[in-house]
Chain A
Amino acid sequence: MRDPLSKTIKGIKPSGIRKFFDIASEMKDVISLGVGEPDFDTPWHIRDEGIYSLERGRTFYTSNTGLKELRTEINNYLTRRIGVSYDPDKEIMVTVGGSEGIDIAMRAMLDPGDEVLIPQPSYVSYEPCCVLAGGKPVIINLKEENEFRLTAAELEEAITDKTKLLVLPFPNNPTGAIMERSDLEAIAAVIEKHDLYVISDEIYSELSYKGDHVSITQLPGMRERTVLINGFSKAYAMTGWRLGYACASEIILKQMLKIHQFAIMCAPTTSQYAAVEALKNGDEDVAQMRDAYNQRRRFLMERFKEMGLQCFEPYGAFYVFPCIKEFGLSSDDFAMRFVKEEHVAVVPGTAFGDCGEGYLRISYAYSIEALKAALERMEKFLKKLRG
């Protein structure tokens, strides 16, 4: 028989976290710090709107771009939070999670051989999505000494005459790094100079602990060059609802919408009704969850300090990214021994790019009690390793 598979898909590596998942899900008393989603339930009033929409029989497709009411609320929200507005009719589309937005933005913008700059460590989907869209991923290795922020020099160095797109993943999963206004201003100049476009994945924008999140779209000239990706998963604890959105100039969005139209039709209707409620009346919930995450973040940093574990202070998302180079183990070996010997599951930094070697991603989307218990095991494990 002929090989049923495409060379492209065979060339894509499966996600590196699978083997930890298999081990951890077998164990009974495992404490996982490996989850990339909120521990909170979706606030009840939001769930209630979803239920109500089902009761009312709103079980049909919406328009391809999503409910008009939701797009209007997205625009209100963005205007309120970052002071940037988008035309709900032409510049906003509702997607199946932020991940769909990333995928279709790349497919709409890339020709074969176009280079896409992907700063790493970062979320696992950018590189494969780029490859599937026919682009060529060019990795920028971010450094701890810069708090894993992208610098203008790093960006400049990676640009060739084939470079078309930059993925900007901040606040960042897995490092928790953020980009402040001055950081963004520095790279905006380079973006402008080389006439690049940007996919700004701001899914963690509400989880920023050092002043309000700054979006690159707020800087002069950047809105037109940027596809802004955001969604409901992290801010409103709505991961399972699979709902996000993309905002861009009409020229780009129109083409993204074609792919969405043929591949997806529309995002889940129930989720869209719930999301309207989230945007209308959810600001207080977001603030409460942000406060809770921030308390855990400070608690973790203090405990790492007590253990003598090196970790730069991250100001975003719900991850910390401690350095484990002192133990002379690879991230993979460290994480494997940690789960086998102490039954604590963490994700090796290398799952998010080769430059994550020597680091671990630890999620604090857990109750303080769970974090305490896990950190006690960690303290014991570090003592053992240090002999």
Chain B
Amino acid sequence: MLREEILKNIERDSRVDVHELAVRLGAADAEVINAMKEMEDEGIICGYHTMIDWEKTSMESVTALIEVRCTLQRGQGFDRIAERIYMYPEVKSVYLISGGYDLRVTLEGKSIKEVSSFVSDKLSTLENVLSTATHFILKKYKDHGTIMAKKSPDERQVITP
């Protein structure tokens, strides 16, 4: 129970002070520290990342979602081909998907050209890849449960009974 409570909180704000989190959850500091350590060791907590809206920076970047259809090799399933893809550092995520295609790959590059050449040179040429379809992201409205638009200010009356 404490574990889930910790996860729900740090999923929203991984920088929360451990003591403050313990107070908020009505637990001792040590309990929270130990639970987090355990969950790191067990691979439940996989990292503490920062959500960035790169669009608001001067960094040029393009994100694409690529649908990949593959053939399978006997006894290897999708794991082998997924690994061939996810080892590239420019690949941000790889999911095995049910339905019309097999793998959904998120790719980040500096330009459309860079992404295109990754797809044509590296991805499509992989032995087990049958076809790819590349979709460029034009605008992110919501990511990781966070709405990108600026929050509207508190519109409540300042004092109410």
List the interface of chain A (C-beta within 8 A of B).
Answer: 15, 17, 20-21, 24-25, 30, 32, 34-37, 39, 123-125, 173, 291, 295-296, 298-299, 302, 345, 347, 351-352, 368
Contacts and interface: CB of A to CB of B under 8 A. Distances in A.
A289 B20 CA distance: 19
B159 A35 contact: yes
A123 B160 CA distance: 11
Nearest to A38: B156
Nearest to B16: A368
A21 B158 contact: yes
B161 A39 contact: no
A384 B24 CA distance: 28
Contacts, number: 53
Contacts of B9: 295
B24 A34 contact: no
Given A295-B25, A298-B26, A34 B158 contact: yes
B24 A32 contact: no
Contact of B24 (A25, A35, A299, A352): A299
Given A295-B24, A299-B24, A24 B161 contact: no
Given A299-B20, A299-B23, A299-B24, A37 B159 contact: no
19 contacts: A20-B159, A32-B158, A32-B159, A35-B156, A35-B158, A35-B160, A37-B156, A39-B156, A124-B161, A125-B161, A173-B161, A295-B24, A296-B24, A298-B23, A299-B20, A299-B23, A345-B158, A347-B161, A351-B161
A24 B24 contact: no
B7 to A, nearest CB: 13
Interface string B7-33: 001000000000010011110000000
B154 interface: yes
Contacts of A32: 158-159
Contacts of A296: 24
Nearest to A26: B158
B157 interface: yes
A351 B24 CA distance: 29
Nearest to A173: B161
Nearest to B21: A295
Interface of B: 5, 9, 20, 23-26, 154, 156-161
B161 A15 contact: yes
A17 B159 contact: yes
B16 to A, nearest CB: 9
A368 B12 CA distance: 13
A40 to B, nearest CB: 11
A24 B160 contact: no
Contacts of B154: 39
A302 B159 contact: no
A20 B161 CA distance: 12
A378 B11 CA distance: 30
A20 to B, nearest CB: 5
Given A298-B23, A298-B26, A123 B161 contact: yes
Contact of B161 (A17, A291, A298): A17
Contacts of B159: 17, 20-21, 24, 32, 34-35, 345, 347
A125 B160 CA distance: 12
A345 B25 CA distance: 27
The 10 A-B pairs of least Cβ separation, nearest first, read: A34-B159, A295-B24, A32-B158, A36-B160, A302-B23, A24-B158, A21-B159, A124-B161, A25-B158, A35-B156
A369 to B, nearest CB: 10
A161 to B, nearest CB: 33
A253 B23 CA distance: 45
A35 B160 CA distance: 5
Given A36-B160, A347-B159, A352-B161, 17 more contacts: A17-B160, A21-B157, A21-B158, A32-B158, A32-B159, A34-B159, A35-B157, A35-B160, A37-B160, A39-B154, A125-B161, A298-B24, A299-B20, A299-B23, A345-B159, A347-B161, A368-B24
A124 B161 CA distance: 7
